[in-house]
Chains A and B, each alone.
Chain A
Amino acid sequence: MNSGLKENFGQSGIRAGWFCAYTPVEIVEAFGLKPERIFGSPGPWEKADGILYTNLCPYVRSCLEEGLADSPPFVIFTTCCDHLRRLRDAWDYYIKPEFSYILDLPRGKDESSIQYFANSIKGLISSLEEKTGCELSAEKLRTAIVKRLEVDMALEKACKTASSAQEILRLYQLAQKSFAASELCQLLENRETYTEEDKRDASDSFAHEKKVIVSGNLLRSEVIPSLIEECGGTIVHLDLCSASRFSLWRSDTNSREIDSLGLESLLHLIARTYLSKTPCPRMSNRSERHELIVDLARTHNASGVILSPLMFCDSFLYDIPLLLKKLEPLGIPLLVLESDYRDENVGGIRTRVEAFVEML
């Protein structure tokens, strides 16, 4: 790290970019960095396409395009997929950020995986300590966890009262871009409040709606959610890593328990919490995800599932046949709507969504 950056560290709120929802942003926050999820450039991604292969995930290519134009000084990756591993390689080689780290992400949630992930997080901490000259204390980490808890709570509240899926998506994006609970809470207070009747639960007013669950990884734009709603569908849950799967801490998290934990135990808690959240299809507990989708469909009385993964996402592409097998006998129809992360082909998407919603 250059000496100027090291001296100013702690007061400058240096940007630290992250990509995967398994990145423990609490650690980044505890170092006084400003964690910011990179959502990528809107496109075209000419430079990135020249570096990465066009059969790589469009999210990864869009991020590289953004990074080539304006990279945060710190970037943190995970080993969640080959696409992200190659993004890290390209970022290091062609952008050369001040600091880059890749966290090993285990697939399971057994004790050995938790311990391994905790060790992997320790590796990140050591590298950050070395780079910044700051030492991580239990107190700083506790403060960061509480902040994250507040963000999660604010988002939970927002989801319950939001007017549309697009609004939920916007709020989640804001939370991931700024990770500032106070900003988020302020926004929630300022926005139009809705009455009890408007709440998006399974109340009588929605009994005849065509409710759908949207699952996938990241939806950059609001094109797909808006089209679903325009076509007469009502999105009752956004199972995305940029939406509900970003949420981590449960409202019943005991903050007193957190107060009593030392650094080692806090790291173990973080590792366990991340590995225990609703899994992405890359993780080994895939069937748990399928069960959850079925449960969500039943709880919200949804009549269909729209799976909208990013193109070339192997984790989802392997999941499609298995999810189909799970949903078919239950009579829950599934529409697969691959996203190129730009979703400019509105006409094509509309035709497919219309047909699906009509069929529900």
Chain B
Amino acid sequence: MMGIADYLIQQLKEISPKTMRSSALWKAVAAFYRSPLNRPSLKADKVSMSYFIEATRDAYISRKPVVWANLLVPSEIIHASGAIPFYPELASAVMAGAGISVRFLEASEENSFSRDLCSFHRAAIGAAIQDFLPRPHMMITCSRPCEGAVLSFSVLAELYGVPHYSIEVPENNALQENIEYLSRQIEEVTRIIALITGNSNLKDGIKQAIRLSNEARKNILEVEETRKEKSCPLDGWDAIGHIAVLASMPGTPACVKFYRLLAEELKEMKNILDSQNKDSLGSRILWMHLKPFYPNSLADSLRSLGAKIVCEEYNRCYWDELDTKEPFPSLAKKILSHPSAGPAKNRAREMVRLAKEYSVDGAVHWNHKGCRQASGSALLIKDELSKIGVRTLILDGECVDSREKTEGQIRTRLEAFLETLEIK
């Protein structure tokens, strides 16, 4: 007999684009949010959930102009201009989580998009072909961390008949002229968004967004400090999902609140565990790249094998405080300071630093099948980590395309790897 969860998944699989744009659906979602059924394990998650429900509803109903962006496009400029940012890569992860991504992957394949392409982008294209996503007014991409985003967004822009602006990120992040070049592009794109939204007070908007982003940053740093402690209870497997907050919410009051609550909650939980003299036992793992977002049992495998992810590559504050007087050069530096924005040696250096700071016992690099930029440097990072005595397991897998899942094999490899780790 079909359970309620199966029933809901079945309903989701068959959901139509029209339903996604209906007020009734969003009323139902809001009612669920307020109901006692909605009990996220962290209070902070309620804040992010509320933000995403509201922003996604507004995007579907077209309450404000919608700007599609990829991971490193600074959300501050979109919020400052009064538009709604929509991140299709994050949407693909959500669709995978809801068990409906295969429908869209198949739609992209039917339209001649190769299965060798990154499934985050393929799923978004398939969903766009079926008109399942909020319709964009414009698209912005950053050429880092990957070229795949620029290429796939250019296809999407053609599909929707909207302009696409590519912010080209220079490889060398130390040159002043490169910072200026990047800064000019960000400023130009921001002005274009403001033209679309009709925002005549961009200067104040930017100032406010930068201020809020800095406030959130302080709270992120607090979260990170707590997470370095052995008794911090946060499980990194779940925390990988916070990448959605980190990418799309900086520049909003909700982002400040999310990280403030998270910092407070983690401290509180840690203090309780400290008072009971309870440390988290088992191996401390640094998790690199992303994870499978479709329903899977890997998290259970990790827990049952006594391993805990204590730090995730993409889920941290990698940038310096932004300057309200120099917003665009600051945002340029923010992009350039992302470890995946430049050569792999930057990424390797950062992973070594994290491994030391978080006292990890081992590291796992999730080789997402279609991701050239991350997988192509996995071995180099493994070699650098081995120099400080940290062993790395490179796992080939998929983040969005559940048809490619090979859980049994991965579990066996994880098991063998974790057995060899020496807990420090």
Contact = CB atoms under 8 A, between A and B. Distances in A.
A90 B369 contact: no
Contacts of A56: 372, 375-376
A317 B116 contact: yes
A286 interface: yes
Interface stretch (A35-43, A76-84, A145-153, A291-299): A76-84
A321 B148 contact: no
A87 B376 CA distance: 8
A85 B171 contact: yes
A89 B343 contact: yes
B377 A89 contact: yes
A81 B147 contact: yes
B150 to A, nearest CB: 7
A322 B111 CA distance: 10
A318 B376 contact: no
Nearest to A309: B114
Query: Which of A282, A314, A320 has the most chain B CB atoms inside 10 A of its CB?
Result: A314
A334 to B, nearest CB: 10
Nearest to B373: A82
A82 B372 contact: yes
Contacts of A286: 154
Interface in B55-89: none
User: Taking chain A's interface residues, is the majority helix, strand, or loop, or is none over half, making it mixed?
Assistant: helix
A318 B155 contact: yes
A249 interface: no
B175 A86 contact: no
A55 interface: yes
A207 interface: no
Interface in A306-327: 311-312, 314-315, 317-318, 320-322, 324
A321 B372 contact: no
Given A82-B146, A89-B377, A321-B111, A53 B345 contact: no
18 contacts: A51-B380, A57-B372, A82-B147, A82-B376, A85-B376, A89-B345, A92-B343, A93-B344, A102-B172, A102-B343, A120-B170, A282-B151, A284-B154, A284-B166, A312-B116, A314-B117, A317-B117, A318-B155
Interface of B: 111-114, 116-118, 143, 146-148, 150-152, 154-155, 158, 166, 168, 170-172, 175, 177-178, 181, 184, 343-345, 367, 369-370, 372-373, 375-380, 383
Interface of A: 50-53, 55-57, 79, 81-83, 85-90, 92-93, 102, 104, 106-107, 112, 116, 119-120, 123, 282, 284, 286, 311-312, 314-315, 317-318, 320-322, 324
3 closest A-B pairs by CB: A86-B376, A89-B344, A53-B375
Given A92-B345, A106-B168, A107-B143, 19 more contacts: A51-B379, A52-B379, A55-B116, A55-B369, A79-B171, A81-B147, A82-B372, A83-B376, A85-B343, A92-B343, A93-B344, A102-B172, A104-B172, A119-B177, A284-B154, A311-B116, A314-B151, A318-B151, A324-B112
